[in-house]
Amino acid sequence: MNKSGISTIILFSIILFVYTLTLTGNMAIICAVRRDRRLHIPMYVLLANFSFLEIWYVTCTVPNMLGNFLSQTKTISFTESIFLSVMAYDRYLAICHPLHYPSIMTSQLCSILVCLCWLVGFLGYTIPIFFISQLPFCGPNIIDHFLCDVDPLMALSCAPAPIIKNVFYSLSSAFIIITSLFILGSYVLVLRAVLQVPSSAGRQKAFSTCGSHLVVVSLFYGSIMVMYISPTSGNSVAMHKIITLMYSVVTPALNPFIYSLRNKDMKFALCHIF
């Protein structure tokens, strides 16, 4: 077997291991929230939905990616920031308005927010899908990428489409910036409230509650901002692939560990499941 074949098997094994870890960790969180009645509160309901989203997100891309590693015929088939924003809003209410939190973040409001996250996440893709479907594709159908992203897909178009490309990146940038500013604003208010807590134990508990969410937000937004906001001409194809692997494979695998290791209630529920 040549070096290329060995490298392919090694890469296949690593991504398969990460994918299995992602499914196991996120499914464990969903089972823990479902079975432990103490976790039947908005914070963990949102986390369970976020884990469910991560499972389907990686399942849309990784199995096909793994198949392409072993196949000679490689094919690519053709919503995360909203959930992170709602989770930040939930933490803001819990820390800044603890006495009013039960009356504001009711189970009914939590269900409405979850439904809106899924609805907006799906509908948000209709605009770029419509624009891309209007492009003529008459050349080679080979995409130099792990998944069917906008840049490599539009590069296959027979006719240049700067307007469609600018519209897509304007929408993506606006969506990313608005949600990131909402999260940042929520945590600025949280930080101000936490610093006013008289006891160090109370401040530590508040920081521990929000710390895991901030780590996930940093990993996710750090990678997608490089992909969809920074000028694409300054990034090589190899760099795009690395960043894509970061937010589509690595980050979903890290999320269960980040949330469970920093949360005593979640660790207790997971111990009972395992």
Task: Say if CB 165 and CB 154 are below 8 A apart.
Answer: yes
Per-residue model confidence (pLDDT) at position 123: 80
At residue 72, the pLDDT reads 62
Q: Residue 13: what pLDDT? A: 87
Predicted pLDDT at 229: 66
Q: Which residues of the chain have pLDDT under 50?
A: 78, 233
Cα–Cα distance measured from residue 7 to residue 221, given in angstroms and rounded to the nearest whole number: 30
CATH topology of domain 3-273: Rhopdopsin 7-helix transmembrane proteins (1.20.1070)
Distance CA 56, CA 62 (A): 10
For residue 112, the model assigns a pLDDT of 92
| Spans of all domains in the chain | 3-273
Residue 226 has what pLDDT?
Answer: 72
pTM of the complete model: 0.78
* pLDDT cut 90: percent of the chain above it: 5
**Residues 12, 66: Cα–Cα separation, whole Å:** 6
Query: Using an 8 Å Cβ cutoff, are 19 and 58 in contact?
Result: yes
Q: Taking Cα atoms as reference points, which of 56, 50, 38, 120 lies closest to residue 90?
A: 50
